[in-house]
């Protein structure tokens, strides 16, 4: 509706009313953790300090370590996600586990002036930083469980979930939810872990995953999961121990 703010438009897409809190809609209230806790990596995201250094230092440095020297830069990741989602002005896009909103802001610019970019995260500290960062007025933030995004069925043209699926207690349920909120023909793009096939590396990577509370997916596993949910035109890119997988819901 003309004249509505992005947050007001987001409210119309939700399954249940949400309280407005510090610039974002909050469906979790006093609950500090969205979904069952999975370990140290997820806990770190809720600290006060990490969101302050996340976008500038933490994510680029950790990303480089995990993607390897030839993997995409942060700017490349944002460009690639925007391209693989095939975003157009007027689209509605959901950035699941948006953190401080780096991708959400870029999506907001791509779908402007009439579209909507929704950044969903469970951590108040991350969302406070995302709101403080500002961005296009097509952006709205939502505090909710990423595994069960509380949006009505078939409401979004694109779903992005970068650097988070491996942190969720129920990643397969999250994929079901992503397919549920996507419109037919909608696009998905995911960046997550990818264990290598070579046995010694595989063991070391699995141990690293267990210690940090993050699941190590196999190469090809996410593509197969998407295919099983009706996604087609699937593409896979591997760099270090990461994979970027994209597809279109048929």
Ligand X SMILES: C[S@@+](CC[C@H](N)C(=O)[O-])C[C@H]1O[C@@H](n2cnc3c(N)ncnc32)[C@H](O)[C@@H]1O
Q: Which residues bind ligand X (CB under 6 A)?
A: 34-35, 42, 45, 59, 97-99, 102-103, 121-123, 126, 145-147, 162-164, 167-168
Q: Which of 246, 195, 237 minimizes the C-alpha distance to 219? A: 195
Question: What is the side-by-side order of every strand in the sheet holding 19-21?
Answer: 19-21, 24-26, 139-143, 116-121, 92-96, 156-162, 182-193, 242-249, 231-239
| Phi-psi domain of 118 (left: phi exceeds 0; alpha: psi -120 through 50; beta: other) | beta
Rounded least distance, CB 117 to ligand X, Å = 13
Rounded least distance, CB 54 to ligand X, Å = 7
Rounded least distance, CB 42 to ligand X, Å = 5
Coil vs helix vs strand at 236: strand
Residues 6+ apart with CB under 8 A from 240: 65, 66, 67, 68, 71
Rounded least distance, CB 34 to ligand X, Å = 3
Name which of 123 and 246 has its Cβ closer to ligand X: 123
Name which of 83 and 227 has its Cβ closer to ligand X: 83
Rounded least distance, CB 238 to ligand X, Å = 17
Name which of 49 and 203 has its Cβ closer to ligand X: 49
Name which of 101 and 250 has its Cβ closer to ligand X: 101
Rounded least distance, CB 35 to ligand X, Å = 4
CA distance 42 to 163: 11
**Cβ neighbours, 10 Å, residue 137:** 12
* Nearest residue relative to ligand X (C-beta): 99
Name which of 212 and 232 has its Cβ closer to ligand X: 212
> Which phi and psi angles does 162 have, rounded to 5°?
-110, 135
Name which of 67 and 227 has its Cβ closer to ligand X: 67
- Per the structure block, which two tokens stand in for 221? 């596993």
């Amino acid at each position: 509706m003309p004249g509505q703010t992005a947050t007001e438009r987001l409210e119309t897409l939700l399954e249940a009313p949400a309280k407005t809190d510090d610039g974002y809609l909050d469906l979790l209230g006093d609950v500090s953790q969205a979904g069952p806790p999975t370990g140290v990596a997820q806990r770190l995201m809720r600290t006060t300090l990490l969101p302050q250094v996340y976008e500038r230092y933490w994510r680029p440095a950790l990303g480089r370590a995990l993607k390897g020297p030839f993997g995409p830069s942060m700017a490349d990741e944002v460009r690639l996600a925007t391209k693989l989602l095939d975003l157009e002005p007027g689209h509605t896009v959901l950035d699941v586990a948006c953190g401080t909103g780096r991708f959400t802001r870029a999506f907001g610019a791509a779908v402007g002036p009439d579209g909507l970019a929704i950044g969903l995260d469970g951590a108040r500290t991350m969302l406070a930083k995302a709101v403080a960062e500002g961005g296009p007025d097509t952006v709205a933030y939502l505090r909710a469980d990423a595994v069960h995004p509380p949006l009505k069925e078939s409401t979004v043209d694109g779903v992005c979930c970068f650097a988070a699926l491996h942190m969720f207690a129920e990643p397969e349920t999250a994929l079901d939810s992503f397919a549920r909120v996507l419109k037919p023909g909608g696009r998905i793009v995911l960046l997550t872990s990818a264990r290598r096939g070579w046995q010694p590396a595989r063991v070391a990577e699995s141990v690293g995953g267990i210690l940090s509370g993050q699941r190590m997916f196999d190469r090809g596993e996410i593509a197969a999961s998407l295919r099983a949910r009706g996604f087609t035109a699937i593409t896979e890119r591997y760099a270090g121990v990461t994979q970027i997988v994209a597809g279109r819901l048929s």
